[in-house]
Amino acid sequence: MSTTTTDETVSSTPPDKRLPTPARRKRLFVVLGVVAVLAYLSDQLTKLVALDLLADGEPRPFVGELIRFKLIGNPGAALSLGAGNTWVMTAIALAVLAAIVVVARQLGSRAWAVALGLLLGSAIGNLTDRFVRPPGGGQGHVVDFIDYNRWFIGNVADIWIVSAAGLIVVLALLGIGVDGRRDHGGSKSDGASGRGDDA
Task: Single out the catalytic residue among 158, 179, 190, 197.
Answer: 158
List beta partners, residue 176.
182
Distance CA 177, CA 31 (A): 17
For residue 44, which of 105, 107, 131 has the smallest C-alpha distance?
Answer: 131
Task: Single out the catalytic residue among 43, 144, 147, 179.
Answer: 144
Q: Where are the alpha helices (H) located in the chain, listed in sequence order? A: 2-11, 22-53, 86-104, 110-132, 156-173
List Cβ<8 Å contacts ≥24 apart for 84-91: 86/130, 86/138, 86/139, 86/140, 86/141, 87/138, 87/139, 89/130, 90/127, 90/130, 90/138, 90/139
Q: Do 18 and 195 form a contact (C-beta atoms < 8 A)?
A: yes
For residue 100, which of 86, 81, 121 has the smallest C-alpha distance?
Answer: 121
Q: Does the annotation mark 52 as catalytic? A: no
Q: Does the annotation mark 158 as catalytic? A: yes
User: Which residues carry out catalysis?
Assistant: 144, 158
